[in-house]
Amino acid sequence: MATFLYRIGRWAFRRRRLVGGLWLAVLVLAVVAAAMAPAGEEEDLSMPGTESQKAFDLLDERFPQSNSQGAEARLVFRAPDGQRVTARENKAAVEDMLGSLDGGDQVSSTTDPFETGAVSEDGTIAYSTITYTADAVDLTEPTKSALEDAASQARDAGLTVEIGGSALDAEEALGGTTEIIGVAVAAVVLVLALGSLVAAGLSLLTALVGVAVAFGLVSALAVPLGLTSTVAILALMLGLAVGIDYALFITSRFRDERAQGCEPEEAAGRAVGTAGSAVVFAGATVFIALVGLGVVGIPELTKMGMGGAGAVALAVLVALTLVPALFGFFARRILSRAVRKATGPGSEHPHPVPTAAGRPGLGTRWARFVLRRPVPVLMIAGIGLGAIALPALSLELGLPGDESKSVKTTQRRAYDLLSEGFGPGFNGPLTVVVDTSESGDTRATTDLVVKTVRGVDGVASIGDPVLSRTKDTAVLTAVPQTAPNSGETKDLVQAIRGAVSGVEADTGAGILVTGTTAMNIDISEAMSNALIPYLTVVIGLAVLLLMVVFRSVLVPVKAALGFLLSVGAAFGVLVAVFQWGWAADLVGIEQTGPVMSLMPILIIGIVFGLAMDYEVFLLTRMREAYVHGASPGEAIVNGFRHSGRVVAAAAIIMISVFAGFIGMSSPTIQTMGVGLAAAVAFDAFVVRMAIAPAVLALLGHRAWWLPRTLNRVLPNVDIEGEKLSRHVPALATEPDDVVPQLPVGRHRR
> Mind listing the pLDDT tens digit for each residue in 197-255?
888 888 888 888 998 998 888 888 877 777 777 788 888 888 888 888 888 889 888 88
Query: pLDDT class for 263, splitting at 50, 70, 90?
Result: confident
Last residue of a domain, which of 490, 514, 538?
514
Residue 717 lies in a domain: no
Residue 199 lies in a domain: yes
Residue 98 lies in a domain: yes
pLDDT of residue 411: 87
Residue ranges making up the domain that contains 210: 1-39+177-346+725-749
Assign residue 338 the CATH number of its domain.
Answer: 1.20.1640.10
- Mean of pLDDT over the chain: 83
Residue 720 lies in a domain: no
pLDDT of residue 340: 62
> Mind listing the pLDDT tens digit for each residue in 280-296?
888 888 888 888 888 77
pLDDT of residue 77: 92
Residue 342 lies in a domain: yes
Residue 718 lies in a domain: no
**552 and 686 both lie in a single domain:** yes
* Percent with pLDDT over 70 in the chain: 89
What is the pTM for the complete model shown?
0.78
Interatomic CA distance for residues 564 and 489, integer angstroms: 32
Rg (CA), the chain: 30
**684 and 633 both lie in a single domain:** yes
Residue 171 lies in a domain: no
**702 and 573 both lie in a single domain:** yes
Smallest Cα–Cα separation from 477: which of 523, 420, 434? 434
**736 and 644 both lie in a single domain:** no
Asked whether 86 and 119 are in contact (CB, 8 A), the reply is: yes
Interatomic CA distance for residues 187 and 203, integer angstroms: 9
Concatenated DSSP letters for 417-457? HHHHHH-TTTTS-EEEEEE-TTT--HHHHHHHHHHHHHTST
State the first-to-last Cα distance of the chain, in angstroms, to the nearest integer: 13
**116 and 239 both lie in a single domain:** no
Say which residue, 246 or 729, is predicted with more confidence: 246
pLDDT at 131 over 80: yes
pLDDT at 195 over 90: no
| Number of helices and strands in the chain (H, E) | 27, 11
Say which residue, 313 or 713, is predicted with more confidence: 313
Range picked from 68-82, 106-120, 726-740 for highest mean pLDDT: 106-120
Instruction: Decide: helix, strand or coil at residue 385.
Output: helix
User: What is the mean predicted confidence (pLDDT) over 457-484?
Assistant: 89
Asked whether 465 and 475 are in contact (CB, 8 A), the reply is: yes
pLDDT at 734 over 60: no
The amino acid at residue 184 is A
Interatomic CA distance for residues 686 and 462, integer angstroms: 54
Residue 340 lies in a domain: yes
CA distances in angstroms from 233 to 270, 341, 352, listed in the order given: 34, 43, 44
Interatomic CA distance for residues 85 and 93, integer angstroms: 9
**227 and 190 both lie in a single domain:** yes
Last residue of a domain, which of 143, 165, 187?
165
The amino acid at residue 571 is F
Last residue of a domain, which of 139, 165, 191?
165
**31 and 99 both lie in a single domain:** no
Assign residue 113 the CATH number of its domain.
Answer: 3.30.70
- How many structural domains is the chain composed of? 4
**184 and 285 both lie in a single domain:** yes
**156 and 294 both lie in a single domain:** no
**534 and 389 both lie in a single domain:** yes
pLDDT of residue 160: 94
Q: Could you say which DSSP state residue 119 is in? A: B
707-717 burial, b at 16+ Cβ within 10 Å, e below that, comes to eeeeeeeeeeb
pLDDT at 481 over 70: yes
Asked whether 650 and 248 are in contact (CB, 8 A), the reply is: yes
**642 and 500 both lie in a single domain:** no
> Mind listing the pLDDT tens digit for each residue in 79-125?
999 899 999 999 999 999 898 888 888 888 899 999 888 989 999 99
User: What is the mean predicted confidence (pLDDT) over 363-375?
Assistant: 92
Assign residue 485 the CATH number of its domain.
Answer: 3.30.70.260
pLDDT of residue 124: 94
Least confident of 132-141, 429-438, 559-568: 132-141
**382 and 462 both lie in a single domain:** no
